[in-house]
Structure 1
Amino acid sequence: MFTCRNQACEAQWEPSDVVIKNEGQGLLFRCPMCGARNYVTRHKSPGGEITYEQVQDIPPYGKQ
């Protein structure tokens, strides 16, 4: 489950609900509701399965 990091939104999305892509600043998905950028990291299992994990160490907008 991914959660939009925009403090005003905070919508939750299943990985199948978002499109993960690189817009030149690393892998991310844009929240389908508000359009905020949410960064992810890519992991590859020994079996070859690709998974994504949301980056949590970047403070959400509005929280500093």
Structure 2
Amino acid sequence: MSTANLQTGPDLELEMVERWRAESLVRAGYDHESAAVLAASHEVDLHLATHLLEAGCSIDLALQILL
């Protein structure tokens, strides 16, 4: 395996966190594309994003509020 195929610790950790965030957002009701955008936006509060859908916000409105 070449070193080009290896990820460094912080890069791998960041990818794992973003994947976890995206999976959590999909479980909350976001579509995959919206979840990926929100997951990569680290300033977005995951609990608030989930709460907005639970409170009846549409995904489009939640994205406008969060982003």
Shorter-chain TM-score category?
under 0.3
Q: TM-score, normalised by structure 1?
A: 0.22
The structure carrying a bigger helix percent of its residues is 2
> Normalized per residue, which structure has more strand?
1
